[in-house]
Chains A and B, each alone.
Chain A
């Protein structure tokens, strides 16, 4: 990648947003008139991505919350080129558009001297970790010049809270419910960051809406990279994680400060940089305690899940730090 690790190489189209106020008023291509839940982090992340560049954009969405809440005929929230095909193929829709762009430029139907647009595909964790996994892998292997953003709310939220392979251990989801004989989801969340880095992607990063400066920097680095870029965006879900709609940023803070959701990037599949180190690391139980989906874990018989989770987070953080140090 052409970028240095400290982000010194922003492309021309990048927007400069100096403060939060500028950020909140800068959205032009994604209208507030959508029907996402109040407190949904999706719109914060989407606005951030769209705000990170002044370049033209072709945006895709897989079937999911973002798609059904922003393109209900005869309305649209998108003042930008936008396409939805299905649940699993949002990545390939954008890859097809990217290929079309190359073809039309090569044939002169689009003036090759006009600036290249950005190609961005959004998908939920269902589209990304589960049903659309193969399509994303194909796009990354082929090296399309596109950004894939996973809006990771760790559950099939659009259909009412079924587990995905991003649902973390212990979560109460409708298809992995907590009950007298179960503490809920039994499996740890799939590690998409490592998987996408292993594709040799020039840039892979994890972002969270509460750290918006970190977020914009990473998205701009992603846009500057040549090739397929993966962004895993934690998107706290007021409805399925079960917290009040004004607590989205608060819960997100707990996720990043407990290191349940560490913020880091991997460049060219190898070079790992941690981009946020909490001054005061909070216990995992504080993060879990803030959400109704983990309520049952605080029963004495389920406490062991919290203990195990804390151990795992400590181990993962240690791994990330050692990877960063090793520079390999």
Chain B
């Protein structure tokens, strides 16, 4: 096992924001090449790593490039050369990077991307929503979601294990909410440097450009004769990653005492109304659920910890008893229902479960969503359950100024 030349002594509990937590996970994983470009709110991950590098805690190369596109391009080049590679970005940076996300996954480069979720312009906005996470939706990256700095730290360490697994060899995004997680210092219980690195393990090279005994050609042309087979194998690896993700989560639980699941859930077993959401909303919704439970209302919450590959069967299992499922999408839907709604609808359609299925668009550009708001959303769904039908439409916007916005009408 490799050991960084300089070890950092960490306290049992550190107070880190999400960015700093990411930077420590990258440091402990002893990444070989970080090629990065700063963008709010993920800048802190890069700055944190730069500090570790400047103080001798990082033995690898830290390459500050001239754009996010170049950041991922550099990571791909490094990864093809047999290096563990990682970067961080948000929003417009992800948008600029998007071409290379497809190239990274298509070339089967196990790169880790720390994504701090932020709205996409226009209008320009630096605050958190999930439109960047959704933009990477079909890019062929495994996508996991953290609600706290500690979760992001844990998931970044797990991400290397998952990405680099021989049967996976796919890149992984670890998401966290811009500002709400990235800039809020919270308690993190880190592993020691040694524990963390031993968990991640030495990087296992596959077809390295620097192995001159076996020259390889990376990034070939395939037309109608072979392209389909390549993409099919890529999808197959993605679908097969679920088993590996579970194994890695299991192993990490033994090490840290913190167990992650493909889909996290809270009080869903007997819930009449289940709310499905991403990011910090999951935590707020749990608090709202507690309050409603105290009033005798049966509500629960679900978080797709692993957003991609989509967990249809786990969704179906968790939601089979619900009378209503509210799918919360924090991204401008652009003339359609949100991705969470689509995922849940797809999960349930081939089962006998027929809960009332609604889509709430909320929190765009960092618009606050609090316990009261979420109680309101639960109560609205409980009323729908009592009435035995949706309140006139599938999709509605919550927390936006002006007249009520409702779309996709259903028969009253």
Contact = CB atoms under 8 A, between A and B. Distances in A.
Contact of A102 (B61, B64, B70, B85): B61
A93 B32 contact: no
Contacts of B348: none
A325 B393 CA distance: 80
Contact of B70 (A60, A76, A89): A89
B32 A67 contact: no
A76 B85 contact: no
Interface stretch (B44-52, B136-144, B219-227, B382-390): B219-227
A74 interface: yes
Nearest to B103: A85
Contact of B217 (A76, A100, A141): A76
Contacts of A234: none
Interface in B62-81: 63-67, 69-70, 73-81
B81 A96 contact: yes
Contact of A137 (B2, B63, B66, B82): B66
Interface string B94-132: 000001100100010000000000000000000000000
Contacts of A79: 215
Contact of A83 (B69, B219, B221): B219
Contact of B212 (A81, A134, A137): A81
A84 interface: yes
Contacts, number: 163
A198 interface: no
Contacts of B99: 86
Interface in A37-85: 56, 58, 60, 67-68, 71-74, 76, 78-85
A81 B59 contact: no
Q: How large is the interface on A (under 10, 10 to 19, 20 to 34, 35 or more residues)?
A: 35 or more
A85 B217 contact: no
Interface of A: 29, 56, 58, 60, 67-68, 71-74, 76, 78-86, 88-89, 92-104, 106-107, 109-110, 117, 134-135, 137-138, 141-142
Given A60-B77, A96-B73, 19 more contacts: A58-B210, A73-B220, A73-B226, A81-B212, A85-B107, A89-B100, A93-B80, A95-B63, A96-B74, A98-B77, A100-B61, A100-B78, A100-B209, A103-B59, A103-B60, A103-B61, A104-B81, A107-B2, A107-B30
3 interchain residue pairs of minimum CB distance:
A96-B77, A138-B66, A100-B81
